[in-house]
Structure 1
Amino acid sequence: MDHGYGFYLDEYQRDVGVHTEDRRGHIECPDSAGFLAAHLPVFDLAAGSVGAFASAIDRAAGHWTLNPERIAASFSSDRLFRTGGEPINGFSEYSGFFAARDGWVRTHGNYPHHRDRLLTILELEPGSPKEAVAQRISELSAIEIEQQAAEIGAIAVRARTETEWRLSEQCAAARSAPLVSIRAREMGEPRALPTRPRVLDLTRVIAGPVATRALALVGAEVLRIDPPAIPEIGWQHLDSGQGKRSALLDLKSSEGATAFRELLETADVLVTGYRPGALEALIGQDLPAHLIHGRVSAWGWQGPWADRRGFDSIVQAASGISFLEGGEKPGALPAQALDHASGYFLAAGILDALTMRSHDGRGRAVDVSLAGTCARLLDAPGRTLHPGLPTAPGFGAVVNHGDVTTARPALAEFEDYPSPAHSWGSDPAEWAH
């Protein structure tokens, strides 16, 4: 039996200050069976994050048995995803490892605006091919590319060793922050725990959407909102959008900001990936006192990189994980586990914050970061020098929605995500607080 996942359950329970009877003892997981095998204990991280979510669903510490294949499928959903029977490529040609003059650089150019900024710092014409990107990077210093990317909002990082990362200020900031932080705001009147919390989702890619998808799974009404000018990548929207409704809304317009303020008044939860204060500046007011505000970031809210953009693959490269998994030529974890695990930890924190609010009426900020999750993975017991090849989840761990095939929910007690999504326009009487 693998019990390393208990490390993460203990971390979660301590950080959020939950004192129910031994939650860890009621979460059971069979042997990993080779799923998510890596040099680092990735399966333990995955199982621990899903276990934290299960424990937050059932604060009475009911018994949960986790399914290793379902967890691995959920965390590897990009590899199992099919549309019309065809697989997808999760990364564009502008995303990946490139050899620089003095080391390795990991780039992320899946979104057009990030791709264009990357080409700008490389002094390349729009639409330049991957070969031109590789040639230009080979002529430059890795740290120079990283610094220029940070200055203009492009996404590129120098691949570091674990030792280099542990000596950095940003690593120290990530390790000193809680895995999941729950901070109470103003006092308020107690509100009954809603049966179907209303959730506004302003996140994209993986961590935030995984959190709100998990909340939809247990009955939340989730409304996913995207800006019209920067649409989400289509397959990612399908992969993480089960059980949600979606809309386009321009918060930079006066009409959009007004509509969003009205949505906030009826919402229980807001999930964002904005920098601190950015959303309030857009809508022209503070968030309602009753709101649970879940926030996800790449690097956390302290340290010299707090304002930088980043994704799972970028954090892996900066933290030394890429060299741990790949050797002299950097590699990657068998899944984007930092993203997925952070999403489940965030969902767990939001459920616990809603329960806390039902007692004292106080809204709360719930924070997670990919770097914080990464710090726990690097510090956790269970490394191995010879992990072997990971076992691939089978297609018994997927579900079909029309011509779209996606991974089943990680918790085996649930066979599918809600379909169709719960209606945001339900009778308000059902949402009496």
Structure 2
Amino acid sequence: MTRSEDGATEQAWAALGGEPGRAGAVRYEPAPGALPARLPVLEMARATVGVCSLAAADLLAERNGVPAPEVMVREASVATAFVSERHLRIDGRAPVAFAPLSGFWRTADGWVRTHANYPHHRSRLLRSLGVTTRSAATDGEAARGAADGVTTEWDARVIAPRLAAVLAERSAHEVQETVYAAGGLAVATAAAPASAVDAGPRAVGLPLVETPRVTDRPAPPLPAASSGPAAGVRVLDLTRVIAGPVATRTLALLGADVLRVDAPGLPESDSAHADTGTGKRSTRLDLASSGGRRVLDELLETADVVVTGYRPGALGRFGLGPESLLDRRPGLIVAQLCAWGWSGPWAPRRGFDSLVQAATGIAAIEAGEDGRPGVLPAQALDHGTGYLLAAGVLRALAERAARGGRHLRFSLAATAGWLLAGVPAAPAGAGEGGSRYRPEPWLAETGSGYGPLTHALPPVGYRGAPRDWAAGPTRWGKDRAEWR
């Protein structure tokens, strides 16, 4: 192991409000060849896991009144966890990571990135651009391309060429705004470095972590914990896709009782939940109904943490905004996550890691020799923000008895800005030693509601940390809406 003393860990720890100098306690084991990129992705990734591990160790020490255990993070484990969705196997089958209509497309003046993994996003994308989904050839092809059950093969063979032809005739900005207005997902690919034009978000300079409110109303201290730093902590998980679920599966790893709640009409991909639902339970509630809202209110009465991953203001109509929650429960910790930051014209927009990479200039920096926009070696904004959020919650739990509840905010765009302009590359010689990166030692098998899973092991590392989750994921939405 090598002692940390790296700038990325210091920066992330300071952003979380950690004790100055404490980040130097993190030790890293190098894994040459892990997460190669032009940008310092490995430095960012290991720093987010490092501060999460440190926050976990400190919370364990706080609860038990003992010195904090040594923090040890292995770069190979970090690299494997940051591409956990690629290593996932469900009963031996590899899931499809991106749908055929998700990706980079040429426009009349550049490139645009689309996201159409979910059926409702796919339909909005095609409808907004006037792309027909039926075949002019045969009834058989039209049946295979029916809008309520589109196959991957149909989209790749028939719909993708139609979409490409339409996009090639329009400007990237026009496509972006047309699709967004219809509730779909497409962004113009910005030049490198990140563009500051009005058409795109400004990521550089966004706070990595925001703490708009601390209640200053002390809460009862957590009891001693023998089964993990977050043992006995109740976490209400109102997140989707990768970043939020990564944060809450990390809290579940550390002993928290995590219950994910989704709306009945917003389905989730089995593969996505199989990857990020590990250690958690999952239920569905209609918050617009009196019965669903009553159940959620009962859950909130004894929750310690609420994590949300929806756009700013989206949950306010249900009375679930952070101010309302903290007024009701001053000891609560409310951690929010969004794509584009918490102010400015892009704040209310939907977004995913791949879109933020494109819109902030990351894709242009990672472009290939042919000029086609590139990608990071992992959905690193999602995973990195997830570990930062988990670290923020763990630190808040450690301080809650003295300072009360708090409101924390994170965004993919802020993490992108940190990667673009703030994360320092590792000093010369920092990656020397260690074994050449191999993912195999960091994979495991477990049972789940979906059958046998092969999955990435968690990268959180401190002496005594759990090697794996206590249980695999249950089936999405099938658990009872109650705490254990």
TM-score, normalisation: structure 1: 0.90
Distance 1:268 1:365 in 2: 12
Distance 1:348 1:14 in 2: 12
The answer (yes or no) to whether the contact 1:101–1:137 under 8 Å persists in 2 is: yes
The alpha carbon displacement at 1:325 in A equals: 1.2
CA gap of 1:265–1:180, structure 2 versus 1, over 3 A, is same
Q: Secondary structure at the match of 1:367?
A: strand
Distance 1:130 1:44 in 2: 36
CA gap of 1:393–1:338, structure 2 versus 1, over 3 A, is farther
Equivalent residue, structure 2, for 1:399 = 444
Equivalent residue, structure 1, for 2:340 = 299
CA gap of 1:146–1:250, structure 2 versus 1, over 3 A, is same
Amino acid at match of 1:83: I
The answer (yes or no) to whether the contact 1:100–1:140 under 8 Å persists in 2 is: yes
Equivalent residue, structure 2, for 1:145 = 175
Equivalent residue, structure 2, for 1:27 = 26
The alpha carbon displacement at 1:170 in A equals: 6.2
Distance 1:232 1:32 in 2: 34
CA gap of 1:382–1:3, structure 2 versus 1, over 3 A, is farther
What are the equivalent positions in structure 2 for 1:281-300 lying under 5 Å apart? Answer: 281-283=317-319, 286-287=324-325, 288-300=329-341
Equivalent residue, structure 2, for 1:132 = 162
The answer (yes or no) to whether the contact 1:56–1:348 under 8 Å persists in 2 is: yes
Equivalent residue, structure 2, for 1:320 = 361
Equivalent residue, structure 2, for 1:18 = 18
1:36-66 superposed Cα distances (whole Å, 9 cap, x missing partner): 0111111111100000101111225542121
1:416 and 2:468 aligned: yes
The alpha carbon displacement at 1:100 in A equals: 1.0
What are the equivalent positions in structure 2 for 1:343-382 lying under 5 Å apart? Answer: 343-361=386-404, 363-379=405-421, 380-382=423-425
1:150-196 superposed Cα distances (whole Å, 9 cap, x missing partner): 22321100111123525669654x43332122333434342213642
Larger displacement relative to structure 2 (281-290 or 137-146): 281-290
Amino acid at match of 2:446: H
The answer (yes or no) to whether the contact 1:312–1:370 under 8 Å persists in 2 is: yes
Amino acid at match of 1:372: A
1:228-282 superposed Cα distances (whole Å, 9 cap, x missing partner): 1111111110101111011111112221112111111110111111233332312
The answer (yes or no) to whether the contact 1:40–1:383 under 8 Å persists in 2 is: no
Distance 2:437 2:30 in 1: 15
Amino acid at match of 2:169: E
Q: Which of 309, 312, 327 lines up with 2:350 in the alignment?
A: 309
- Corresponding pairs, count: 417
Amino acid at match of 2:8: Y
Equivalent residue, structure 1, for 2:313 = 277
**How large is the RMSD of aligned CA atoms in angstroms?**
2.5
The answer (yes or no) to whether the contact 2:353–2:379 under 8 Å persists in 1 is: yes
CA gap of 1:316–1:50, structure 2 versus 1, over 3 A, is same
Larger displacement relative to structure 2 (145-154 or 97-106): 145-154
Equivalent residue, structure 1, for 2:47 = 48
CA gap of 1:69–1:284, structure 2 versus 1, over 3 A, is closer
The alpha carbon displacement at 1:284 in A equals: 7.4
Q: Secondary structure at the match of 1:222?
A: strand
CA gap of 1:356–1:107, structure 2 versus 1, over 3 A, is same
Amino acid at match of 1:313: S
The answer (yes or no) to whether the contact 2:179–2:185 under 8 Å persists in 1 is: yes
CA gap of 1:185–1:255, structure 2 versus 1, over 3 A, is farther
Equivalent residue, structure 2, for 1:113 = 120
Distance 2:264 2:186 in 1: 25
Q: Secondary structure at the match of 2:187?
A: strand
Amino acid at match of 1:369: S
Q: Secondary structure at the match of 2:204?
A: helix
Equivalent residue, structure 1, for 2:432 = none
Distance 1:344 1:44 in 2: 14
The answer (yes or no) to whether the contact 1:97–1:106 under 8 Å persists in 2 is: yes
Distance 1:115 1:65 in 2: 43
The answer (yes or no) to whether the contact 2:247–2:387 under 8 Å persists in 1 is: yes
The answer (yes or no) to whether the contact 2:332–2:406 under 8 Å persists in 1 is: yes
The answer (yes or no) to whether the contact 1:222–1:245 under 8 Å persists in 2 is: yes
Amino acid at match of 1:118: L
Amino acid at match of 1:39: R
What are the equivalent positions in structure 2 for 1:51-66 lying under 5 Å apart? Answer: 51-59=50-58, 62-66=69-73
CA gap of 1:415–1:55, structure 2 versus 1, over 3 A, is same
The answer (yes or no) to whether the contact 2:4–2:23 under 8 Å persists in 1 is: no
1:220 and 2:256 aligned: yes
The alpha carbon displacement at 1:114 in A equals: 0.9
Equivalent residue, structure 2, for 1:430 = none
The alpha carbon displacement at 1:18 in A equals: 2.1
Equivalent residue, structure 1, for 2:268 = 232
Distance 1:5 1:91 in 2: 37
Equivalent residue, structure 1, for 2:240 = 204
Percent identity, please: 42
Distance 1:298 1:259 in 2: 29
1:336 and 2:366 aligned: no
CA gap of 1:360–1:206, structure 2 versus 1, over 3 A, is same
Distance 1:282 1:294 in 2: 17
Amino acid at match of 1:42: V
Q: Which runs of 5+ in 2 are unaligned?
A: 59-66, 134-146, 148-154, 224-230, 428-435, 475-479
Q: Which runs of 5+ in 1 are unaligned?
A: 385-390, 427-433
Distance 1:85 1:162 in 2: 40
